[in-house]
Structure 1
Amino acid sequence: MTTTTTAPQVRARLTDGVTGDLGRLLPEGICRTFRVMPYAVADGVVLVAAAEVDDPITRQVVEERIDRQVQLVRHTGNEISEAIDEVYPPSEGQVETADERRSRVQLARMLTNSGLVTNEQLQIAMIEYSRTGDPLGDILVAHEAITEDVLVAALSEMYQMQRVGLADFTPDLEVARRLPERLALRLQAIPVAATEDLVLLAAARPLDAEQVLDVEEALGSPFRQLLANRTELDQLIQKVHSEHYAEISTVSLMESQPEASAHIVFTGGQKASAVCLGIALLLCGIVWPMGTLVGLVALASLIYLLVSCYKLQLTFRALGAHLETEVTDEQVLALDERTLPMYTILVPLYKEAGIVRRLVRGINELDWPRTRLDVKLLCEEDDTETIDMIKSLNLPPHFHLVVVPDSQPKTKPKACNYGLQLATGTFCVIFDAEDRPDPDELKKAYLAFQHVAPNVACVQAKLNHFNQNQNLLTAWFANEYSMHFELVLPAMGSAGAPIPLGGTSNHFITSVLRELGAWDPFNVTEDADLGIRLHRQGYRTAMIDSTTLEEANSNVPNWIRQRSRWIKGYLQTWLVHMRSPGRLLRETGPRGFISFNLTMGSAFVLLMNPIFWGLSTLYVLTQAGFIQQMFPGFVFYAASTLLFVGNFTFVYLNVAGSLQRGEFGITRTALLSPLYWGLMSWAAWKGAIQLFTNPFYWEKTEHGLDGGEHE
């Protein structure tokens, strides 16, 4: 620990200039926030100019950051500011004005003098302020040093503005909607009452001059501001505009791009094509029964071979290579947090009250300023248990409870669309309730967006599982994820192929996502569909080397429910994008067209597996002649080769994926992957049947089966 002295007799003065690089011993934010500047060395002691040499917080901050003996020397604020500007030339809009500093100091003194904030809490908040420049009061609230109500009361006294409580307020919708929804959301403000001459406007924070002009223009009349709790204000805005949000989240894509929506499972053209194909096969079967069967077997074998070879080619491309967008730890550390934008996190929740506490802790552990997080906890209206749990936690205002009205289709993408209407972030990401992303994932995604081509609209992190060693099923699941996210997707991204996104940890430019119509609420594998639509519109997806850990299903029935939904969604996605094959070919190019069909083709392969297994078993048991006739010479050798290639490919991919990730402990389980393939085929048939019987049904996957902590 260094020591600090405040001896008055010091020969060197700040006005003589800063010696060498001493000024950079302290970061710019610390210098400006605490008005300090190292400027000289006398007898081995670093002299630090300070406006408040007796302030214990200033002294502690300086001591902790300079690993030498220091001495605080009193100087005027103007002298120090001039020295800071010499060492750190100011950037426009990033230097605190005199009025802003007076307000910050006044708020800090008000809270500490009243005993509402300790010196330690204030120091933590001041240090974060030095990094981000965000309002000190908002930082204190985000870190739960004070409540939002305490801050509103303090601001009310500082600015001599009246407060208003909105917890039990019933809005006059005609009055409340006088301020356009986009403006209300951006300013966190809403009209609560009006007379002929004046509108009363509830606002989370005092509006600046430019914002006042925007509101006056929108209202067409004078108004008076009332300060309100941000959480209560957020709930009121949702209540006023819920019908609008619900409509947009359900029908926006269906109305703006009906050809891209899965609300119709089979189009008239697809039904007609299927009928014509069925009739043709029936006629061929009557005229050339065995020839038709041989042709079908040969076609199925060809599909098998192409899908297997494509995945092998992708794997060989990725093995031993680093195909993700490079973001180094040094670049993350060098980020200037004052430049970071607002980041929206969408978290769909359904019947998951038990893991809300852990979820909140995980989000708060992310390396991103909490004051620049916009976390939407998306709950279905009938899930009262989860809603009540969230309310009971009295979360700070960067967490927003969003209650999605109970309507069909009741799917995760509809909930995400609803939350997207309320998003205020420049970027947004989806996390599932049980997800455990790397703490620096948001910064890596943000930096990736700065480095990639302008047409990259999505950054996909890798996914894997934290309970991979629980049983054989979770090990298989982890092997599969390693193969998919460590090898296949990076190779597809580097080749410029359309990427079917993972269900979580996909980061988007919010404006582009809205432009595309966001997620299809009728597609139960909405992420894969969105990845293809991004590509078709000329956008691309980049992969980053950051991993989000999920919970692998350890229970077979639960796993079947999840996997059948995924495969049903893959079939939906193929049907949607193959409505016009010629247009798809033009928009993706030949390579993209082939890649899309071979990627989605894996679902058809899974459907064919039980048929061939059944035929093989029946032949072994009965030696049935008609089965032998279905496999004449060339078909038999091709099918036999395929049997070897297909099984080898599946096992090899799973082994290669776990080795690429370095998960050597579960590599041996990949040798039993053909058994896992059997489970996948079971799920595939269940999903295919549901495509006809209940296409939009979202089978809920239960979490918390790993026996871990779910408070």
Structure 2
Amino acid sequence: MTATVDTGRATTRAPGTAPLPRLAQGADPAVVGLLPEGLCRTFRVLPYAAEDGTVLVAAADPTDPITEQVVAEHLARRTDLRPVLVQHTAHEVVAALDAIHPPVEGVVETPEARRARTQLTGMLTASGLVDPDQLRRALVEHARTGDPLGDILVAHESIPEDVLVAALSEIHQMQRVGLADLEPDLALARRLPEPLAQRLQAVPVAESDGTVLLAVGRPLAPADAAAVEDALGSPTRQLLANRTDLDQLLQRVHSAHYAEVATTGLMQSHPDSSAHVVITGTQKAVLVMALVVAVVCLAIWPMPTLIGLVGLCSAVYLLVSVYKLLLTLRALGTHLETDVTDEEIDGLDERLLPTYTILVPLYKEAGIVPRLVRDINALDYPRTRLDVKLLCEEDDTETIERIRSLDLPPHFHLVVVPDSQPKTKPKACNYGLQLSTGSYCVIFDAEDRPDPDQLKKALIAFDAVGPEVVCIQAKLNHFNQDQNLLTAWFANEYSMHFELVLPAMGAAEAPIPLGGTSNHFRTSVLRELGAWDPFNVTEDADLGIRLHRAGYRTAMIDSTTLEEANSVVPNWIRQRSRWNKGYYQTWLVHMRNPAALISETGVRGFASFNLTMGSAFVLLMNPVFWGLTTLYLLTQWGFIQQLFPGIVFYAASAMLFVGNFVFVYLNVAGSLQRGEFGITRTALLSPLYWGLMSWAAWKGFIQLFTNPFYWEKTEHGLDGGHA
């Protein structure tokens, strides 16, 4: 019997008409590609011929309404021809599919997995736990990704995890175990090595007659089960558990280990790269000697010494300004980022996408959690391939309880970081990284709004660049740039930095100080580098320099994450003073051995590093020069005039005019490059913004010596959250 599909309805072919061609007569190569392979295998269909304004589709079950709807919807996007579903056996369809698309092991669903999926579908539909629309959407995603249907339904909150566990226990004839209130036997639980427990999501929970009862999120493959028994030295019996509860149990069992590694890992593996010592003994000696020489010179030759200091500061100021100007001129009107096209994104085979870890540090941000969850779920990436770590400090009970109250699906993981010092974002990220399962990872802040396709763009960029590129940096900007003058200045600065300066540095293969969010990493290399320095309050900039010194590189992509700009001056000062303090820390760490830095980065990289970090030191000079200029204009004091003789005067004048011009020009150019014409005029007032930056720089500099590891939180006004 044959069937045709017209606007979703099945009708019998009229008697007396010629029989339709059969699949055995051959498939038209121009037609078979109208439906993707995954969809064809899931629904056992295959378009094979075109006839009289129709597409003939071989179907094992042509009267199934979900199959009819899915086929009609997908063909409507590719052709104007009407689909006609023609009855064939499942064997005929699968054999033809295998001939056209030779099956790839690990990608094509096994017969056993298909039987389990069919059984699960029958159980859920018979009990009314999923409706046809939910099932259809889940089946289409399964066809696209190859991920288990039950996991897809849970990830999209069509059914709760407990329902799926109950169904799987019946399918696999396995007992279940509840873990929410379990007090683990730590000695028994830790018999299974943490890396193996984390990889397999398995925890020993009890022992009976020499057999270890093993809580697992999913039945283990025979090879994995054998590896567990070898590690334990005992036979095991697997018990199915809720994946969220299992994740929380794993954290309770190994929290002390995670906390120790998060805090001391870099300090122990790469002690010279850690900022846990603010200034080394050698640096203190050099600083003291320089101060002694300066004091002696001031005592013997006071005016020449002061003139020399003014000239030196003017030269540094000028070099930093000119370097940024040259970077901007290189990038202006060009496209230096790694290109990713819409066609490349559409051409990705989602069955081959890796698991992607998203690290989200949170602190006292309970109010922003629902929006955060919404924005992450809006990413164009299979939820079943996401590993989202919501990183909360132990004392932030409000945010922890808010996350728990949402009863999020298992691709969201609540990670509670034990309360210890230093209490910083990088320490929380180090803690979460140890729990990560993704081949790639990215940091997003709580208020971030990344472009939906950013993860896919990063993956394509990683494939396009060389293996030495281990970090892809997306651009940052602000969604509230029009709120007031401060947010407009902030947006201008970000446009300059991410649209011009960083792309130019990437194209020049200079060390790039990373942004604090939306930097994507190859997870294995990030772990190899020791991850983030928990003692550095601008850990992103430090990590960018460290990976460059190790021979790796960073590339930029044209994808933007929108953040919330601080709209209140005191909050902005707190945030910016921390950034400057981190730049001072980063400079001190990497200048512990200048010769090694030159050998690892080259002379150009060494100069770029110092001129980039030097911008924080230049901000310290501003109030001094502004004060001298103002005092001279008011008093015409001859002493000040003596400080600027001849060439020093011309250098200082160049610094005054070139420095201010460059700062205004950079901010104007950045907003123009991004196309934010509405806020361009505010860049003309940038010197006032520069004054705020100098205020924050001095606060950060003083705090470097009084409280170097203090992470100063800044409140965000729009949502009442923190970052």
1:209 corresponding residue in structure 2: 222
2:563 corresponding residue in structure 1: 550
Q: Which secondary structure does the structure 2 equivalent of 1:21 belong to?
A: helix
Structure 2 CA distance for partners of 1:491 and 1:246, relative to 1, 3 Å: same
Separation of aligned partners in 2, 1:707 and 1:443: 28
Q: Tell which deviates more after alignment, 574-583 or 212-221.
A: 212-221
Query: What letter is aligned with 2:718?
Result: D
Q: Tell which deviates more after alignment, 291-300 or 11-20.
A: 11-20
Query: What letter is aligned with 1:469?
Result: D
Separation of aligned partners in 1, 2:655 and 2:506: 27
Separation of aligned partners in 1, 2:8 and 2:82: 5
Residues 4, 63 of structure 1: 8 Å contact kept: no
1:7 corresponding residue in structure 2: 12
Deviations 1:233-287 (A, max 9, x none): 0000000000000000000111111110000001000111111000000000000
Deviations 1:123-180 (A, max 9, x none): 0000000010000000000000000000000001111110000000000001001111
Residues 374, 424 of structure 1: 8 Å contact kept: yes
Separation of aligned partners in 2, 1:462 and 1:587: 27
Query: What letter is aligned with 1:7?
Result: T
Q: Which secondary structure does the structure 2 equivalent of 1:66 belong to?
A: helix
Residues 499, 531 of structure 1: 8 Å contact kept: yes
Say yes or no: does 1:582 pair with 2:587.
Answer: no
After TM superposition, give the deviation of residue 72 of structure 1 in Å: 1.4
Say yes or no: does 1:640 pair with 2:653.
Answer: yes
- Stretches of structure 2 that go unaligned for 5 or more consecutive residues are 1-5
2:449 corresponding residue in structure 1: 436
Residues 298, 305 of structure 2: 8 Å contact kept: yes
Say yes or no: does 1:328 pair with 2:337.
Answer: no
After TM superposition, give the deviation of residue 707 of structure 1 in Å: 6.2
Query: What letter is aligned with 2:319?
Result: L
Residues 584, 701 of structure 2: 8 Å contact kept: yes
1:104 corresponding residue in structure 2: 117
After TM superposition, give the deviation of residue 6 of structure 1 in Å: 4.6
Deviations 1:273-314 (A, max 9, x none): 111000000000000000000000000000011001100110
Residues 4, 72 of structure 1: 8 Å contact kept: no
1:288 corresponding residue in structure 2: 301
Length-normalised TM-score, structure 2: 0.97
Deviations 1:541-591 (A, max 9, x none): 000000000000000000000000000000000000000001101010000
Q: Which secondary structure does the structure 2 equivalent of 1:512 belong to?
A: helix
Matches within 5 A, 1:653-668: 653-668=666-681
Matches within 5 A, 1:284-363: 284-363=297-376
Residues 367, 720 of structure 2: 8 Å contact kept: no
Separation of aligned partners in 1, 2:203 and 2:515: 37
Q: Tell which deviates more after alignment, 663-672 or 62-71.
A: 62-71
Matches within 5 A, 1:130-279: 130-279=143-292
2:549 corresponding residue in structure 1: 536
Say yes or no: does 1:402 pair with 2:421.
Answer: no
Which residue of the other structure, out of 637, 657, 661, is the alignment partner of 1:624?
637
1:504 corresponding residue in structure 2: 517
1:30 corresponding residue in structure 2: 39
Separation of aligned partners in 2, 1:504 and 1:16: 56
After TM superposition, give the deviation of residue 4 of structure 1 in Å: 4.8
Residues 358, 441 of structure 2: 8 Å contact kept: yes
1:66 corresponding residue in structure 2: 75
Query: What letter is aligned with 1:639?
Result: A
1:706 corresponding residue in structure 2: 718
Moved over 4 A (4+): 707-710
After TM superposition, give the deviation of residue 378 of structure 1 in Å: 0.1
After TM superposition, give the deviation of residue 41 of structure 1 in Å: 2.9
After TM superposition, give the deviation of residue 361 of structure 1 in Å: 0.2
- Stretches of structure 1 that go unaligned for 5 or more consecutive residues are none
Deviations 1:346-367 (A, max 9, x none): 0000000000000000000000
Query: What letter is aligned with 1:449?
Result: F
Which residue of the other structure, out of 387, 412, 437, is the alignment partner of 1:374?
387
Say yes or no: does 1:489 pair with 2:494.
Answer: no
Deviations 1:431-472 (A, max 9, x none): 000000000000000111111111111000000000000000
Query: What letter is aligned with 2:626?
Result: W
After TM superposition, give the deviation of residue 45 of structure 1 in Å: 2.5
Separation of aligned partners in 1, 2:257 and 2:8: 61
Separation of aligned partners in 2, 1:44 and 1:686: 74
Separation of aligned partners in 1, 2:160 and 2:285: 62
After TM superposition, give the deviation of residue 219 of structure 1 in Å: 1.2
Which residue of the other structure, out of 36, 47, 50, is the alignment partner of 2:59?
50
Query: What letter is aligned with 2:62?
Result: V
Residues 367, 721 of structure 2: 8 Å contact kept: no
Residues 211, 236 of structure 2: 8 Å contact kept: yes
Residues 470, 706 of structure 1: 8 Å contact kept: no
Which residue of the other structure, out of 5, 8, 21, is the alignment partner of 2:30?
21
Which residue of the other structure, out of 79, 87, 109, is the alignment partner of 2:92?
79
2:3 corresponding residue in structure 1: none
Q: Which secondary structure does the structure 2 equivalent of 1:573 belong to?
A: helix
Q: Which secondary structure does the structure 2 equivalent of 1:25 belong to?
A: coil
Residues 3, 70 of structure 1: 8 Å contact kept: no
